Amino acid sequence: MSAETPLGQNGQTARKPWEFRRVRLEGARKQALETGRNRVLVTGAVFAFAFLAIAGRLVDLTAIDQPGEPKVAQIESERSGTMDRAEVLDRNGLILATSLPTASLYADATEVLDPAEATERLLTVLPELDGADLLAKLSNRSRFVWIHRNLTPSQKFGVNRLGIPGLQFHQGERRVYPHGPLVAHVLGLTDIDSRGIAGVEKLFDERLRVDDEPLKLSIDLRVQAIVHEELSAAVAEYKALGGTAIVLDVATGETLAMVSLPDFDPNQPATLQGEAGFNRATKGVYEMGSTFKLFTAAMALDSGTVTLQSGYDASKPIRVARFTISDYHGENRWLSVPEILIHSSNIGAAKMALDVGTKGQRDYLGRLGLLTAPAVELPEVGKPLVPAQWREINTMTIAFGHGLAVSPLQMVAATATLVNGGIRYTPTILRHEGAAPLIGERVLSPETSTKIRHLMELVVEEGSGKQAKIEGYRIGGKTGTAEKEVNGRYRRDARISSFVGAFPIERPRYVVLALLDEPHGNKKTFNFATGGWVAAPAVGKMVKRIAPLMGISPSMPGDDAAPGIAPKGAPKVVPVNRDLVVAVRAALDDVREARRAAR
């Protein structure tokens, strides 16, 4: 030991202040220390295992598992069939139907601590819910119950703020129709699970759910808006039960507008109920009245049984068994073929049809597409009502639009065949894509088509369709008024009033039809509610607004073919022969002069 090392008491070496003496524990003190040390080790191991488990789960969720919704939400998503749905566009690319992301509220009732309190608090954000029903859902201890579908962002935010345990959101989509009722009957709508239940949404349901490409319709939203507005005004003015209007391209069969009133808002499915959900344009079938005389004249001219100079005695009603065929405002004289249409003579039309014959009439009407349901791309399509036994009396009544009921779409498509050169195209609501011309079926000769267009123009110039005349454009058409059959009997106070027209008639581009169900006359119409007084003016107003929109220049005096943009694939249409117009009018003048001399 060095001399520098201090010694303590009893000769022991003294400890420096920073040195510690090793203490040896024995007995109870040693056992307590070991127990505490083991507990610390066990606790540390438990915490380490918990952190490892959490870390492993995080790795599993982020790096190994595919990201997705919670299991319960995934199961319900599969159950509901929710998936992206393609858009529906008009012919110009404007959106008619689309899907927007949305959140729906559901609950795991086993995690709701106090169902009564949760119900009370939820009702402050979602007051439209039924309190008793909501309480029952939250009290049944089910792992999954729907609370509210398609929440708005503000509603979702409000529910989130409540902080109620057990509530979750399912991300889905909601079908939205930006233009509301405007194209309702064409588009249809989807149910709460985004499955189509009407219109193109139903017919093309699988295609819209599987294919990402938008479905492009032939509808022109601009034309649709004009037609909807004018038809709505006519229905309101004449206090009609409803109505329908259609605009059809004569060269392709494409439907540019289809309106049925009353209508519904596809954004509010409850409005689909009742009459509002009935598509009068395609599902409704009606006896169209005197508009059918166009087909009678066409088949008679085309078959050669008459010429424009031919005529029939319409001085007396026709009596067949218990039936009597008479004229509404009879001229009570001999009528030429043009006069039969101008004055809308039932007697003359019936006799004209008899000369064509029952077989010939059925053949022509069949080829015009009036005896079978149209193959249009909608699920709501009505079948025409055809006589079970086509007898001679049926031939006569069908000649002036009674005894055979067809849809307005059939009427428009058949009229398009009359004026486009005699070629029948299947009506469609899908846009025709491609430059290749459509292949149609020839039904009438081009010469017959030219004559019919001239007769249609005479009806507007001199006959019952005068109310359809507008400045700047030549329109041809035919009025129709038919009594409705109710419980097997015709009611004189319940009518279907219509007008079908084509414009510009010298080289037709479009056919327009307006039909009113049970209109009522007023002071303006001298209390008349026939097609010439209530439907023809509506068509005239539509044409006045549609023609400039579609780039159709006004007709100039003496023009045989008004300038305009011919659609792709349009058939060659023979312009109205002005010499023919002069000749027919001269023939009418000769007949009238001879009649005055005879008096």
Q: From the first residue on, what is the mean pLDDT of each consecutive set of 10 residues in the chain (599 residues)? A: 49 52 61 75 81 77 52 43 78 94 87 89 91 89 87 88 89 90 96 91 94 94 97 97 97 96 93 92 95 96 94 91 84 91 94 96 96 95 94 94 95 97 95 79 95 95 93 94 80 89 95 97 92 96 96 74 37 46 57 56
C-alpha dihedral sign at 474, 475, 476, 481 = negative
Phi, psi of 477 (to 5 degrees): -175, -170
Are residues 165 and 245 both part of a single domain? no
Whether 421 maps to a domain, the answer reads yes
* The pLDDT value given to residue 101: 85
Whether 19 maps to a domain, the answer reads no
**Counting every residue, how long is the chain?**
599
Please report, for residues 155, 260, 307, 341, 545, the alpha-carbon distance to residue 467 in angstroms, rounded to integers and kept in the order given: 53, 22, 28, 16, 16
Are residues 395 and 295 both part of a single domain? yes
Place of tokens 């428009």: 412
Are residues 228 and 183 both part of a single domain? no
- The partner residues of 244 in beta bridges, in order of sequence, read 260, 515
Whether 349 maps to a domain, the answer reads yes
Are residues 301 and 153 both part of a single domain? no
Are residues 454 and 514 both part of a single domain? yes
Report angle CA 322, 325, 328 to the nearest 5 degrees: 135
CATH number of the CATH domain containing 118: 3.90.1310.10
Are residues 178 and 233 both part of a single domain? no
Identify whether the C-beta of residue 536 lies closer than 8 Å to the C-beta of residue 477: yes
Whether 367 maps to a domain, the answer reads yes
Are residues 183 and 314 both part of a single domain? no
Whether 435 maps to a domain, the answer reads no
Q: Which residues contact 508 (CB under 8 A, 6 or more apart)?
A: 250, 416, 419, 420, 453, 476, 502, 573
Q: Which residues contact 441 (CB under 8 A, 6 or more apart)?
A: 367, 423, 424
Are residues 310 and 372 both part of a single domain? yes
Are residues 310 and 458 both part of a single domain? yes
Are residues 118 and 249 both part of a single domain? no
Report angle CA 44, 47, 48 to the nearest 5 degrees: 85
Provide the pairing of β-strand 242-249 with 510-517.
antiparallel
CATH number of the CATH domain containing 452: 3.40.710.10
Task: Indicate the pTM of the whole model.
Answer: 0.77
Residues known to be catalytic: 290
Whether 12 maps to a domain, the answer reads no
Q: Could you give the number of structural domains in the chain?
A: 2
* The pLDDT value given to residue 327: 87
444, 449, 452, 453: CA torsion to nearest 10:
150
Provide the pairing of β-strand 215-216 with 88-89.
parallel
Whether 36 maps to a domain, the answer reads no
Tokens (6 digits) for 273? 């109920």
* The pLDDT value given to residue 200: 97
Domain carrying residue 180: 84-128+139-187
Whether 572 maps to a domain, the answer reads yes
Are residues 114 and 164 both part of a single domain? yes
Are residues 261 and 170 both part of a single domain? no
Identify whether the C-beta of residue 126 lies closer than 8 Å to the C-beta of residue 152: no
* The pLDDT value given to residue 36: 74
* The pLDDT value given to residue 557: 61
